[in-house]
Amino acid sequence: MAKLSPQNRTAGWLALVALVMVSLSFAAVPFYDWFCRTTGFAGTTSVSQKAPDQPLDQMITVRFDASKERDMLWIFKATQPSMKLRIGETGLAFYEATNPTDKPVAGQASYNVTPDGAGGYFTKIACFCFTAQILQPHQTVQMPVTFYVDPAIAQDREAKYIKEITLSYTFHQIPLEEAEAALAPATTKPIN
C-alpha cells in the first residue's frame, strides 16, 4: 500500500471536516425545530387535543400581540389586549385580519410566546396559525386561537413565578398559489 504524503493526509482531513460541517448544517434545522418543540425554547408552544381536566386556582394573564411583515398588505390586530384565566383553563381569543386591497392576498402566521420559559407550557388546541389564510378583496375575518397554560408550569422551579405570558403573531404574505395548494383537499385517484 502506498504511503500518503503529509500534504495529501492534511487535504483528506480537511475534506472530511468540510463534509462533516456540511452534514451538520443540514441536520441543524430539524434538530433545532425538535429541540424548540420539546423544551419550549425560543417561545415555541405545544399542541394538544384538549385542556387538562382540573385547572389550578392560580391565575395567569395572557396578553395578545399582532404584527405583520413589512410587505404584508393586511390590517391585522388582536381583538382584545389580554385575558386572565386559571392555569389549565381553556382560553379562546380572536385576532382580526382585513384585506384592504382589490385582490386576494394569502398569508401565514408565525408565532412566539414570551417569556421564553413559558413557551413549553403554552399549549394550543386550535389555531389559525396552523394553516395558510386567504382573504378576498375587502374581506375581514375573525381568527380564533384556543389554548391553555399547562398546570405543570406551577412545578417548574423558575417558570412558576411567571404571572404574565404574551402570545405574539406575525403575518407574512405568501404566494397565493402556495396557499391554495396547501388548503386544497387531497385528491384521490380510483384504483383500477
Q: Using 50, 70 and 90 to split pLDDT, how confident is the model at 49?
A: low
Q: Does pLDDT of 155 surpass 90?
A: yes
Nearest-angstrom CA–CA distance, 94 and 80: 8
Nearest-angstrom CA–CA distance, 4 and 90: 67
Q: For residue 138, what pLDDT is reported?
A: 97
Average pLDDT over residues 35-40: 48
Give yes or no for a contact between 41 and 136, defined as CB atoms under 8 angstroms apart.
no
In a 3-state reduction of DSSP, which class is residue 65?
strand
Q: For residue 40, what pLDDT is reported?
A: 47
Side-chain-facing half-sphere of 46: CA atoms under 13 Å: 18
Kindly report the pTM of this predicted structure.
0.69
Sheet holding 140-149, edge to edge: 46-47, 122-127, 140-149, 91-98, 75-78
pLDDT digits 0-9 by tens, 157-191: 989 899 999 999 999 999 999 888 888 765 444 44
Q: How many CB atoms are closer than 10 A to CB 174?
A: 18
Report which residue type is found at 164.
E
Q: For residue 48, what pLDDT is reported?
A: 53
Q: Comparing C-alpha atoms, which of 79, 76, 74, 51 is closest to residue 64?
A: 79
pLDDT digits 0-9 by tens, 82-94: 999 999 999 999 9
Instruction: Provide the grid cell at 158.
Output: 423558575
Cα diameter, the chain: 76
Q: Using 50, 70 and 90 to split pLDDT, how confident is the model at 31?
A: low
Nearest-angstrom CA–CA distance, 125 and 28: 28
Give yes or no for a contact between 76 and 84, defined as CB atoms under 8 angstroms apart.
no
- 159 exposed, middle or buried (CB, 10 Å; 0-12, 13-18, 19+)? buried
Q: Using 50, 70 and 90 to split pLDDT, how confident is the model at 2?
A: low
